[in-house]
Amino acid sequence: MDPASPGSQEGVEAEEAAFKPLTREEAQKLREATPVVSPWKILMWQGVVGGLVAAAAWALTGQPRMAWSAAYGALAVIIPAALFARGLSRQKAVTHGGAALVGFFVWEMVKIALTVAMLVAAPRLVAQLSWLALLAGFVVTMKVYWVAMWLRPASKTSVKNI
């Protein structure tokens, strides 16, 4: 093994020596230069997209059951995501990193469990459910996360420039 490789003791020491923590002012500049996408804004766009998918399902098929199925699929994404965002926003005061990580995973499990429960309950809640329309509403609404990340403004500076 090469002594300067990242896994060796010398490599780890070299990486630690090269690491320079940011000062309070540098961290503040980095926060200001890095655009943040609000989870509530993403939820709003998910609602808009879910509504558009439901309207498109109705327009394309002429069947209200398709619109209800697609709308329910969108809601199976939006409602758990809103609960997740609310749960995480209440954790902003947590200062210990481990507690924040545990909280994140707990809320993520709650989100997944609620999503699964909503999908299991779908045949009982939506008359003449169309699984294809539900899946279309679910998937398209879920992809709003990726579109939001893709369209967000790029960071104006690098950590090296601060």
Which 8-state DSSP code applies to residue 8?
Answer: S
CB neighbour burial string for 22-34, b if at least 16 within 10 angstroms, e if fewer: eeeeeeebbeeee
Q: What is the pLDDT of residue 83?
A: 95
CB neighbour burial string for 117-137, b if at least 16 within 10 angstroms, e if fewer: ebbeebeeebeebbeebbebb
Q: Please, what are the averages of pLDDT over each run of 10 residues along the chain (162 residues)?
A: 56 64 80 77 93 96 96 97 91 76 91 97 95 96 84 58 54
Q: What is the pLDDT of residue 62?
A: 95
Q: What is the pLDDT of residue 5?
A: 54
What is the C-alpha to C-alpha distance for residues 131 and 162, in angstroms, rounded to an integer? Answer: 51
Task: State pTM to two decimals.
Answer: 0.73
